[in-house]
Amino acid sequence: MRIDSRVPYRYVKCTLPAAIHDASSYASANAVYFAYMSSLRERLARIIQGDVSDDADMRKKYSRDTSIFERTPEVVVFPKSADDVASIVRYARDAALRGEKVSIAPRSAGTDMTGGDLTDSISLVFTKYMNHVVDISNDAVTAEPGVYYRDLEKQTLAKGAGIIASYPASREICALGGMVANNSGGELTLRYGKTARYVRELDVILADGSKATFKKLTFAELSEKMQEESFEGEVYRKSHALIEEHAADIEAARPTVTKNSAGYALWDVIDRQKQTFDLTQLFTGSQGTLGIITRAIVGLVKPKKHKAMLVVFLTDIGILPEIVRRVLEASPESFESYDDQTFKLAVRFIPQILRHFGILQMIKLAFAFIPEMFMVLFGGVPKLVLMAEFAEDTAEEALDKARHARTSLHGMAVRTKLARSETQAAKYWTIRRESFALLRKNLHGLYAAPFIDDIVVHPDNYPEFIPELNALLQEHHLLYTIAGHIGDANFHIIPLMNLAVEKQRKEILELAPKVYALAAKYKGSITGEHNDGIIRTPYLPIMYGEKICALFAEIKGIFDPQGILNPYKKVGGTIADIERSMIRDRGRV
């Protein structure tokens, strides 16, 4: 018996009894060796075209993302095609059926803040090979998951097409797969919504290794799909039955805030008015726990070109709710914010920030920052800076709207400024977009620790919510920064912590559920865009209750019966998982 190095392992396995019986033959010994004695790396390398590594440095490199967690993968796999991904999934499925503990965590650019892409088994990394834009039409792009957003946007703009308007603040470092799998949002989400709104079609590898293409189906198309004698057919039958059976509970659980990435979006699968069934909406935001995306078709928009920004400097947080209400009435395209800590850090690290820019822009920005330096020097730093950007068809229209918003704030205790062009607005955007990266890179010995990083409440609840949140944060005496999408009431609170200290790690476990409970009390979301991962999965019942979480578990069981797809994220994660995987060093010192 000759063993072809590309013969999938499951076929080798089928021939094993005969091989063992005839142990004198070299080939059969070979089969036994590869089936049971070889390393996971060797076994996987034999069944795919891409690369597999268990080198210590490589495993370390992929043991972290931007969360507070660390998990070292047993192997790192760089697939070259959907076929490779299918082979890896089939391997994991077969191994799980034999009782082995093998699972797969897909990873695009690894900028996840929740530990969603971390694993101690197989890390499946898409940015090395599966990083191509396949097609660009006027209003959609077809691309592989590993393409960096910055590269994708260059190509769509070069073709005169639009952009993916839900790009996150990590736009320079994240990739498409993660944007879809996290249902990311960003500075334009206030007007254009999150990624789910733009996902039209997904090619995925299901838990049995089969390929499926998910897109919006009419009810007639759904009936056909449900008749298929395949795992895909079963997925359609069972998920449809589950969503129908629990329709009322599911509808009641639908979050009412504008942004949510917590749980599985069961409420977005069936559109009863349009009579459609769309599994892309369940997949988007599912963090690789239901299947692995190998290609996506995502809609593009062309945002209005002319912009003007109203900047509001605020010292009394008490009047924030009223300011937000008045500014939103003028319908800004985006409405962002950052606090005094972020402001001071940005001024302190201006040279670093400027390094990202070309020489001309660098000089312009350096001059633009002079007033901010004076503010820091003379103690006039505002508690909060709010940036409302108005985008319209003409420069006059945009400026008019910004002026209108400014007028609406007359009589309130704020300073305001109009940035009439993109150049004038650039420094504010720079601070806002760089805020988390600044914290991560510059605070030696302290981690920028995302664990209450993404709560959302309705702006109407600000007057009660903000004092309660402040009280909680003060109770814990933490050093933290707040930046975020104020228009969507989505707060990024990032405490700065020394994770080598057990007391600080405990603080995370104490504070997180209190903040989530507060968000839930105001019918908000525990995560607007960063998703659940390791950090929030155990707390999903706080937001949804046990009944809905049981439905999440059923959905997971339908799509992933062997539990091989990014297990313990979204479903089954525990507080012990959080404790076990938390980073335990001081960061860069």
Ligand X SMILES: Cc1cc2nc3c(=O)[nH]c(=O)nc-3n(C[C@H](O)[C@H](O)[C@H](O)COP(=O)(O)OP(=O)(O)OC[C@H]3O[C@@H](n4cnc5c(N)ncnc54)[C@H](O)[C@@H]3O)c2cc1C
Contacts with ligand X by CB under 6 A lie at 65-66, 105-113, 116-117, 126, 145, 168-170, 174-175, 177-179, 181-182, 184-186, 287-288, 292-293, 436-437, 529-530, 566
Of residues 12 and 265, the one with the C-beta less far from ligand X? 265
| Least distance in angstroms from the C-beta of 236 to ligand X | 19
* Cα–Cα distance, 393 to 307 (Å, whole number): 9
Of residues 65 and 507, the one with the C-beta less far from ligand X? 65
C-alpha of 163 from chain center:
18
Of residues 173 and 517, the one with the C-beta less far from ligand X? 173
| Least distance in angstroms from the C-beta of 184 to ligand X | 3
| Least distance in angstroms from the C-beta of 572 to ligand X | 15
Of residues 170 and 504, the one with the C-beta less far from ligand X? 170
Spatial strand order of the sheet with 51-53 comes to: 51-53, 75-78, 122-125, 104-107
Strands 384-392, 334-339: parallel, antiparallel or unpaired by DSSP? antiparallel
Of residues 239 and 287, the one with the C-beta less far from ligand X? 287
The neighbour count for residue 129, using CB atoms within 10 Å, is: 17
Of residues 365 and 494, the one with the C-beta less far from ligand X? 494
Strands 122-125, 75-78: parallel, antiparallel or unpaired by DSSP? parallel
CB 220 within 8 A of CB 227: no
| Least distance in angstroms from the C-beta of 22 to ligand X | 42
Which of helix, strand or coil describes residue 476? coil
| Least distance in angstroms from the C-beta of 464 to ligand X | 26
Of residues 19 and 118, the one with the C-beta less far from ligand X? 118
| Least distance in angstroms from the C-beta of 8 to ligand X | 21
Of residues 89 and 105, the one with the C-beta less far from ligand X? 105
Of residues 66 and 430, the one with the C-beta less far from ligand X? 66
Of residues 278 and 454, the one with the C-beta less far from ligand X? 454
* Cα–Cα distance, 250 to 140 (Å, whole number): 31
* Cα–Cα distance, 520 to 526 (Å, whole number): 7
Residues 6+ apart with CB under 8 A from 589: 444, 445
CB 102 within 8 A of CB 96: yes
Number of residue whose CB is nearest ligand X: 178
Residue 252 phi, psi (nearest 5): -65, -25
* Cα–Cα distance, 449 to 204 (Å, whole number): 32
For tokens 């009047």, the residue is: 319
Residue 399 phi, psi (nearest 5): -65, -40
* Cα–Cα distance, 514 to 519 (Å, whole number): 9
User: Which residues on adjacent β-strands are paired with residue 306?
Assistant: 392
| Least distance in angstroms from the C-beta of 530 to ligand X | 5
Of residues 354 and 375, the one with the C-beta less far from ligand X? 354
The neighbour count for residue 565, using CB atoms within 10 Å, is: 26
| Least distance in angstroms from the C-beta of 116 to ligand X | 3
Q: Per-residue b/e over 82-111, b at no fewer than 16 CB within 10 Å?
A: bbbbbbbbbbbbbbbeeeeebbbbbbbbbb
For tokens 């299947």, the residue is: 291
CB 522 within 8 A of CB 465: yes
Residue 71 phi, psi (nearest 5): -140, 125
| Least distance in angstroms from the C-beta of 59 to ligand X | 16
**219, 170, 239, 245: which is closest to 483 by C-alpha?**
170
| Least distance in angstroms from the C-beta of 454 to ligand X | 8
| Least distance in angstroms from the C-beta of 411 to ligand X | 33
